[in-house]
């Protein structure tokens, strides 16, 4: 980690944060939302570094608020290095313990914030995965947000605003982080010595905008698994020959839906793999060079020639409807069964 340049594909959030630094107009509370693995926590740490970087006050009056701060930390000074290694007393990181942020953690924070910062110009509190706060912890945090301590910024990270108390959200300036583009992930992954360019393209598409997910997938123990899972999904779902899906026994497809429903952790990735495969069949009809699953070119060519464009688009929409229903907490198995029935009939 160095400065904001180390954050992938988050130009808008970084522009907002660097404007705060330039104007020295800091909000008392920020809320970073976005899917896991897009750099929310890392950005919060870099912002904390920028607020306190000693290079920002070289030959300047430390508390002259008229002088703008540098728009990115040096990453080299003692303060930056201590913040990066999570050893700075005035940059407080709160994380879930056994998947929950409890009221005891927030009460301890309240006691700390009642005191002046030890040494920092701006004390920064980062509450990572704030959606993990139980109701008691959320209400305790609300008291801090209502009466924010001086020289302190609170940064909450969460997947979406609906996971937090509305009263907490309303007291924070909301900054939305977007999924990382597939191209940026490809470029990043291609630098790995353990990964071929072809595999980098495949993993980037399966990571669905999350750098942390992509990095997990390319671990030696995981890479072969995900490459094989992709082939298994395409074959056992019947999408390797979508034009013949209607001739598949419905019972076998429903059994496959049941099998998928038992793996809720990886299900979003599985559905994304299926969508990307169908997308490749569509793309083949117009510009074959743009397909993602390049190692399966011959299968894509054959399958694409056997089915019309309208049917392919209908099948993609069937998967998107299932994704939406599952996110809305519909019965997972039922949503998948309906999806496969639509895949057969469309």
CATH number of the domain bearing residue 274: 1.20.272.10
Asked if residue 163 and residue 31 are part of one domain, the reply reads: yes
Residue 172 Cα distances to 90, 142, 148, angstroms: 20, 10, 11
The whole-chain average pLDDT of the chain stands at: 89
pLDDT given at position 57: 57
- What is the CATH classification number for the domain harbouring 136? 3.40.50.300
Burial degree of 280 (CB within 10 A; 0-12, 13-18, 19+): buried
Residue 192 lies in a domain: no
Q: Do 165 and 17 share a structural domain?
A: yes
Same domain as 337, residue 262: yes
**Which residues sit opposite 157 in a β-bridge?**
32
Residues 223 and 336 in one domain: yes
Alpha-carbon span 346 to 343, nearest angstrom: 6
CA distance 291 to 60: 54
pLDDT digits (tens, 9 = 90+) for 246-289: 888 889 889 999 999 999 888 988 998 899 999 999 999 999 98
pLDDT < 70 regions, the chain:
1, 56-70, 193-194
CA distance 333 to 257: 6
Per-residue model confidence as pLDDT tens digits over 215-232: 988 887 788 888 888 888
Q: What is the pLDDT of residue 275?
A: 92
pLDDT recorded at residue 193:
66
Pick from 176, 196, 211: which residue ends a domain?
A: 176
| C-alpha–C-alpha distance, residues 205 and 192, integer Å | 16
Do 158 and 223 belong together in one domain?
no
* Domain count of the fold of the chain: 2
Phi-psi region of 125 (alpha: psi -120 to 50; beta: other; left: phi over 0): beta
pTM of the entire predicted model: 0.81
CB distance 127 to 155 below 8 Å: yes
- Percent of the chain that is helix, strand, coil (3-state, to 5): 60, 10, 35
Q: Reduce the DSSP state of residue 93 to 3 states and report it.
A: strand
* Domain boundary, last residue among 176, 209, 228: 176
First to last CA, the chain: 48
Tokens of 212: 């942390």
Domain limit, last residue, from 176, 199, 232: 176
Same domain, 166 and 260: no
- Claim to verify: residue 24 and residue 163 sit in the same structural domain: yes
Distance CA 183, CA 188 (A): 9
- 145 and 280 share one domain: no
At residue 304, the pLDDT reads: 93
pLDDT at 59: 46
User: What pLDDT is recorded for position 68?
Assistant: 54
- Supply the range of the domain harboring residue 130: 4-176
């Amino acid at each position: 980690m160095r400065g904001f340049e180390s954050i992938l594909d988050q130009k808008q959030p970084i522009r907002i944060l660097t404007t705060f630094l330039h104007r020295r107009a800091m909000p008392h509370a920020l809320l970073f939302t976005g899917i896991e693995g897009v750099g929310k926590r890392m950005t919060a740490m870099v912002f904390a570094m920028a607020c306190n970087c000693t290079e920002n006050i070289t030959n300047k009056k430390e508390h002259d608020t008229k002088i703008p701060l540098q728009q990115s930390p040096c990453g080299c000074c003692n303060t930056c290095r201590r913040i990066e290694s999570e050893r700075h007393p005035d940059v407080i990181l709160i994380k879930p313990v056994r998947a929950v942020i409890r009221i005891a953690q927030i009460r301890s924070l309240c006691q700390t914030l009642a005191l002046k910062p030890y040494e920092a110009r701006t004390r920064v509190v980062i509450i990572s995965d704030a959606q993990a706060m139980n109701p008691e912890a959320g209400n305790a945090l609300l008291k801090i947000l209502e009466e924010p301590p001086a020289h302190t910024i609170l940064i909450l990270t969460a997947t979406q605003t609906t996971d937090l108390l509305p009263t907490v959200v309303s007291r924070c300036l909301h900054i939305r982080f977007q999924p990382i583009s597939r191209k940026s992930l490809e470029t990043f992954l291609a630098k790995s010595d353990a990964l071929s360019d072809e595999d980098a393209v495949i993993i980037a598409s399966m990571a669905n905008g999350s750098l942390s997910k992509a990095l997990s997938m390319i671990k030696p123990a995981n890479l072969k698994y995900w490459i094989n899972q992709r082939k298994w999904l395409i074959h056992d779902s019947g999408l390797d020959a979508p034009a013949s899906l209607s001739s598949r026994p419905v019972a076998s497809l429903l059994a496959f839906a049941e099998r998928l429903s038992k793996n809720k952790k990886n299900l979003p990735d599985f559905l994304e793999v299926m969508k990307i495969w169908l997308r490749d069949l569509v793309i083949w009809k117009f510009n074959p060079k743009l397909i993602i699953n390049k190692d399966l070119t011959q299968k894509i060519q054959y399958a694409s020639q056997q089915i019309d464009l309208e049917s392919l688009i209908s099948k993609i929409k069937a998967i998107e409807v299932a994704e939406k229903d599952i996110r809305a907490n519909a019965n997972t198995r039922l949503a998948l069964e309906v999806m496969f029935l639509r895949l057969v009939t469309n």
